[in-house]
Structures are given as C-alpha cells and as structure tokens.
Structure 1
Amino acid sequence: MLQQSFNLFHTECSSAAWDTTLLEHLHTGLHQQLDDLDACLGQVMEEEDPALGRTGPTLAVKRYFQGIHVYLKENEHSDWGWETVRVEIMRRFLC
C-alpha cells in the first residue's frame, strides 16, 4: 500500500493539484516509511517459508490502485479528483 501510494503521488499530474512543499513532504515521508518497511521485511522474509508468497493481498492492492488511476484519468486529473483520492487513501490508512 505504501509503495502504491508513493507511486501514485510521484506522478507528474499529482503536482498540479497539490502544494509542492506539502507534496515533497509526503514523498519524503512515504519514502522513509518504505525504507523502514524494507528493512523489516528483509528480516521477516529470512524467517518465512518463501513458498507461501503474498499473491492475494498484493494483487488486491494493485487492483485498488489501478482503480484510482482510472478514476483520475476519467476526471482528467482534476484538483477535486486528487482531493477525492487523498481523502480515500487517508480513510484507508486510518482503518
């Protein structure tokens, strides 16, 4: 979810709807969390059976973010479209 959020808000179209300073803070925060997560996952993956995989959850997250990309494209990456996406993602992270 962090990686997909980072990718979404790291597109050229996202900068048109956001304050560039706030967007840069978001990029930095997401990047730091991804680095921290990678470090944790590296330790966990050494302990787990690699045959188990994570296909189901990974596929569900990718589909979720593909839907967001389609929504933004259909709404021509409008400011209100980006605001809707921001609210939706914040709601998901808080659940």
Structure 2
Amino acid sequence: MPCDESRLLENSGWSSRTRAVAKYLQNLLEDEAVHGHKVLSMDSLLARKTRKEASRMFFETLVLKTRDYIHVEQVKPFDNICVKAGAKLMKSDF
C-alpha cells in the first residue's frame, strides 16, 4: 500500500468536523512557520468565536491530541494553552 494511501486510511473514520479542524490547524501552522512561529495560542484560536464554536474547537483539539496529530501544553492551571503541530498533522491530507 503506498504511503499516501495509508495516511488517508488512518483518518478515514473521522468526523467531518474533526477533518475540518485538522485542516484548519494544518493551514494556520504552515502559515505561522513561514513567519518563524511554531506555536499557536488557544486564546487566539478561540478569539471572536461564539461559546458553541469555541467549545467545539476545544473538543476537536482534544481529539487531535489524543490521536497524536498535535501537541498541547499548559504550564499552569487556567494559563494559556499552546498548540504545536505533530508530524502526523503536517504529513496528512484531509
């Protein structure tokens, strides 16, 4: 099985929302890398979003973290959450 095909099969059971958030984060992180930044702030991701949109985005980041597509870090409780791309995220087609 070619490598591209195995990557497609790996995320074939995902919801359309998970795919959309993964693609969104992939694009944002690629754009940030051009400017020398490798980390996104959860605060900036959730800015100008409704409570419903923010909760969905937060949930989908947890799903992607669980599947090792992104790395998240929070230094102390209630502090900002930093989101970094995992190798799987940057190599995948959504």
Q: Which structure's residues are more often strand, by fraction?
A: 2
Judge same fold: TM > 0.5, yes or no: no
TM normalised by structure 1 equals: 0.30
Structure with max Cα Rg: 1
